[in-house]
Amino acid sequence: MQNRISNILKDVTNILLPISCFGCNARLYGGEVMLCTLCRHQLPLTEYNFNEENAVDRIFYGRINIKKANSFLFFTDIGIVKNLIHNLKYKNQEKIGEFLGDWFGQILKKNGHLNNIDYVIPVPLHQKKFRKRGYNQVSLFAQRIAFHINATYADDLLIKTANTKTQTKKNRLGRWYDNRSLFEIRNSDMLKHKNILLLDDVITTGATMEICASSLKKIDGVGIYIASMAFVQ
């Protein structure tokens, strides 16, 4: 009980003013934000770019015709990235998305591979889930990337219409058919002949991205790029 209370207090304090590292829980010292220096250096950046073929592209081969896929980090079952994403999604640490978006966005800006993107769109949450969490964990990540690559952030064009969990246990084809009507496009005229960067937190099987992308593909001349904070190898 004592432990639980002290954990809760720690969470509350961390929302107001993060004092411990979201990667390893160590105390943060002057100048350290979000991550301690050690975790910052150990963060497993994929260093993939939008020019060469990579492992994230291969997740989507033969499933959906997209221009390019990429991920900022490698996701593993234990470690810094898992802790970061967990805090972002379940501990009200929305700012982690901003932190990752700024980092990734600056890299993208520097290598100039995504200077043709018109809209940056986060994978939407269903309204119910949005209300429960209070924020879409991908929003700030997407906003910061849009800022760096000079694109328009839009979270009102792709809407989640049903609150069904992505069925990760089924085979790829089955999953797609089960979920294909979960997302809806609004104002599709705005997206005609545009390049869209679709963003999510973690790509595991690629199912969610595949469903979103296939909804967007119905629009004339649309080009789809996919990226995420992290992906499971």
Q: Determine if 138 is a binding residue for Zn ion (CB under 5 A).
A: no
Smaller CB distance to Zn ion: residue 87 or 208? 87
Q: Determine if 21 is a binding residue for Zn ion (CB under 5 A).
A: yes
Smaller CB distance to Zn ion: residue 39 or 117? 39
- Please name the helix (run of DSSP H) or strand (run of DSSP E) that holds residue 3, with its range, or none: helix 2-16
Smaller CB distance to Zn ion: residue 84 or 151? 84
Cα gap 104→38, rounded to integer Å: 19
Q: Which of 18, 34, 36, 149 binds Zn ion (CB under 5 A)?
A: 36
Specify whether the CB–CB gap between 152 and 122 falls below 8 A: no
Smaller CB distance to Zn ion: residue 42 or 46? 42
How many residues make up the chain in this entry?
Answer: 233
Smaller CB distance to Zn ion: residue 24 or 107? 24
State the number of binding residues for Zn ion (CB under 5 A): 6
Give 186: exposed, middle or buried? Use CB within 10 Å, 0-12, 13-18, 19+.
Answer: exposed
Phi and psi at residue 180, in whole multiples of 5°? -65, -20
Q: Which of 20, 24, 106, 185 binds Zn ion (CB under 5 A)?
A: 24
**β pairing state of 68-75 and 183-185:** unpaired
Nearest-approach distance from CB 47 to Zn ion, in angstroms: 21
Q: Which of 23, 105, 122, 223 binds Zn ion (CB under 5 A)?
A: 23
Q: Determine if 39 is a binding residue for Zn ion (CB under 5 A).
A: yes
Specify whether the CB–CB gap between 222 and 193 falls below 8 A: yes
**β pairing state of 158-160 and 183-185:** antiparallel
Which structure tokens are listed for 88?
């972002």
Nearest-approach distance from CB 38 to Zn ion, in angstroms: 5
Smaller CB distance to Zn ion: residue 21 or 198? 21
Cα gap 92→212, rounded to integer Å: 25
Smaller CB distance to Zn ion: residue 23 or 223? 23
Q: Determine if 55 is a binding residue for Zn ion (CB under 5 A).
A: no
Q: Determine if 96 is a binding residue for Zn ion (CB under 5 A).
A: no
Phi and psi at residue 110, in whole multiples of 5°? -65, -45
Nearest-approach distance from CB 5 to Zn ion, in angstroms: 24
- Please name the helix (run of DSSP H) or strand (run of DSSP E) that holds residue 150, with its range, or none: none
Per CB under 5 A, the segment of 37-45, 100-108, 141-149, 222-230 that binds Zn ion is 37-45
Task: Calculate the CA 17 to chain-centre distance.
Answer: 24
Binding-site ranges for Zn ion (CB under 5 A): 21, 23-24, 26, 36, 39
